[in-house]
Chains A and B, each alone.
Chain A
Amino acid sequence: MNTATLATPLPRPSAPPRLRVLPGFRLTLGYTLAYLSLLVLIPLAAVFLKTAELSLAEFWNVVTAPRVVASYKLSFGMSLLAAGINAVFGLLLAWALVRYSFPGKKLIDALVDLPFALPTAVAGIALTALYAKNGWIGQFLEPLGIQVAFKPLGVLVALVFIGLPFVVRTVQPILEDLDTELEEAATSLGAQRWQAFRHVILPIVFPALLTGFALAFARAVGEYGSVIFIAGNLPMVSEITPLMIITKLEQYDYTGATAIATVMLILSFTLLLIINGLQAWTAKRTGRDR
């Protein structure tokens, strides 16, 4: 075969009827779809159907009430900030774990996943104890006039805690796969270490870093358990959006709770699409499978 025939692919013959050797396709796919629909899709649809009972004006009034808007600002603002902090320090931590050897490295590597494994309520009370006025960290911040526990800053601390592993675990495998030859080539062409990082490494790592940022952000926006203990939950000041849903539920205001949930779900689904796109970009940039 010469290169010309390779370059111009022949029109593909219409696919022959596929011969399936393995059994169980209908059974497993049917079960998957039924289980998924019953437990996830139909209950989720209930949110949208319940919200549809409201008129557009009523819906708008609920989701733009001043207390609810204040909660969006806090939830989104702090989630963005936390994801940003995690992107910077998560990259540094992933870099240190991949590039340097130091005592206790394996232990630290394993403990990075702690926020995935530690129940959020436990994280919440532990962070509150640390950052309270007489806590291990709080006692040093208090004289500086910085209050963390029961203030909006407490929300940030909790969201940084739960988001960290997302960045480290998406960036780490990409850093591990980097060929040393790339940087050797950059150095031999006269690049400084910083230039090699900025122009060679960062472009390769960037899609993964952005994916980690988006994952940390998506998790932070919906987070509840670790935040409510440390936030203080003052109306208009330190109430997160998921707490607004709980508050409405406790007042038996189901339509109100559902309307806010709709706003959050739409945001979550948008983020999910963005993250899928980012992962495809990472795969393309690095040649890795997702």
Chain B
Amino acid sequence: MAGASTLRLGAAQAIGLTRFEARAATRETPLVKWLILGTALTFFAVFLLMPLIAVFVEAMRKGWETYLSALIDPDALSALRLTLLAAAIALPLNLVFGVCAAWAIARFEFRGKHFLITLIDLPFSVSPVIAGLIYVLVFGAQGWLGPWLAEHDIKIIFAVPGIVLATVFVTFPFVARELIPLMQAQGKEEEEAAVVLGANGLQTFWYVTLPNVKWGLLYGVILTNARAMGEFGAVSVVSGHIRGETNTLPLHVEILYNEYQFAAAFAVASLLALLALVTLGIKTWIEHRAAHAHQDLHEGQS
């Protein structure tokens, strides 16, 4: 009996049914199934798919020439450079932090660990506008360090360093929160073995830890990158919107849009939408790879 039902289950999977569809007890009547599926997919199409398509359609509304000229406009190019620069600084900073935090939290026991994890997650629960505001309060003309910075002719707010700071804040937890659960789940036996066999800390990390967590690390990195390049609210507060100097790509989109240059705004936006699609593509690929690596591990053990 059990054998027969497994056989049927195998046949069902071969024609692409889920394990729930393959059993009578976990199946809905066709009417209910199509109602749920229809509602869910309509909701998906209206709220997620249509906005995405709209970006590209609106970008092309005035043809290729307008599209390309919006992208090679000097202001757009300088916004692109600043966006890449901010991401290029924020990414390694948060990567090093994430690895350090994960090593301390997942490899050692200490008091207040859960509280520390909550603190690391804090930037995600703070409104992006407040993320910008806090740096204005510290480094702005009216802020704590404002007078000292003015004396030494250092500009942070309404300048590039402020944009980098805001970007670091909003992408702060991504790498750490991917690595911590992964490293906790893997345990520290392999690393302890390496150390006992004479490896030093860096060798242990490089040859033992890193190969085990590479997918999680990459996952955290692409999420950090996507958010760093796309951040709007926090950066908007500290940027000062100086064209050609302190505008990132998302801020450039806003300026074009407010000047009623809709086709140009959507052209630049399509660049950012493309970045989002690439991010989702890599993310799906990583999940696929990680699932396979997991499967191989389990098959190897049994």
Contacts and interface: CB of A to CB of B under 8 A. Distances in A.
Interface of A: 18, 20-25, 27-29, 31-33, 35-36, 39-44, 46-47, 50, 89, 92-93, 95-102, 106, 108, 110-123, 125-127, 129-130, 135-137, 157, 160-161, 164, 180, 183-184, 186-188, 193, 196, 218, 221-225, 229, 242-243, 245-246, 249, 252, 254, 257-258, 261, 264-265, 268-269, 271-272, 275-276, 289-290
Interface in B94-149: 97, 100-101, 103-105, 107-110, 116, 118-123, 125-130, 133-138, 140, 142-144
B32 interface: yes
A289 B186 CA distance: 13
Given A110-B280, A242-B129, A122 B272 contact: yes
Contacts of A121: 230, 232, 250-251, 253-254, 269, 272
Contacts of B55: 122, 125-126
B2 interface: no
Interface in B224-269: 226, 229-233, 236-237, 249-251, 253-254, 257, 262, 265-266, 269
B47 A98 contact: no
Contact of B108 (A22, A42, A225): A22
Interface stretch (B15-23, B66-74, B289-297): B15-23
A120 B33 contact: no
Given A96-B37, A120-B250, 12 more contacts: A20-B108, A47-B130, A92-B36, A93-B44, A122-B276, A126-B51, A126-B266, A129-B58, A130-B51, A249-B136, A265-B126, A272-B121
B126 A110 contact: no
Contacts of A157: 47
Contact of B253 (A125, A272, A275): A125
Interface in B209-232: 223, 226, 229-232
Contact of A18 (B49, B109, B277): B109
Contact of A100 (B18, B133, B165, B191): B18
A119 B250 contact: yes
A218 B125 CA distance: 7
Contacts of B118: 272, 276
A200 to B, nearest CB: 11
Nearest to A186: B25
Sort chain B's interface into a size bin. 35 or more
B204 A22 contact: yes
Contacts of B100: 27-28, 31-32, 35
Interface string B187-198: 010011001100
A24 B126 contact: no
A162 B264 CA distance: 24
6 contacts: A39-B172, A92-B39, A111-B48, A120-B232, A125-B269, A136-B50
A32 B232 contact: no
A50 B257 CA distance: 34
Contact of A28 (B52, B103, B232, B273): B103
A161 B168 CA distance: 25
Contact of A113 (B231, B266, B283): B283
Given A113-B280, A136-B54, A254-B142, A96 B36 contact: yes
Interface in B53-84: 54-55, 58
Contacts of B1: none
A249 to B, nearest CB: 7
Q: Which of B51, B108, B118, B232 has the most CB of A within 10 A?
A: B51
A254 B33 contact: no
B168 A25 contact: no
A198 to B, nearest CB: 14
Please name the 8 residue pairs, one residue from A and one from B, whose CB atoms are nearest each other, closest first: A222-B127, A119-B230, A225-B232, A224-B233, A43-B134, A117-B276, A29-B104, A126-B51
B181 A289 contact: yes
A96 B233 contact: no
A126 B284 CA distance: 24
Interface string B7-44: 00000000011111101111011001100110111011
A110 B276 CA distance: 11
A180 B23 contact: yes
Contacts of B29: 193
Given A47-B130, A249-B136, A22 B188 contact: yes
Contact of B40 (A95, A123, A125, A222): A95
B135 A43 contact: yes
A224 B232 contact: yes
A182 B253 CA distance: 51
Nearest to A201: B26
A246 B48 contact: no
A96 B201 CA distance: 47
B41 A96 contact: yes
A120 B233 contact: yes
Given A118-B272, A222-B128, A127 B51 contact: yes
B104 A46 contact: no
Contact of B51 (A95, A96, A123, A271): A123
A117 B226 contact: yes
B294 to A, nearest CB: 14
Contacts of A118: 51-52, 230, 272-273, 276
B210 to A, nearest CB: 14
A136 B54 CA distance: 9
B60 to A, nearest CB: 13
Contacts of A29: 104, 108, 110
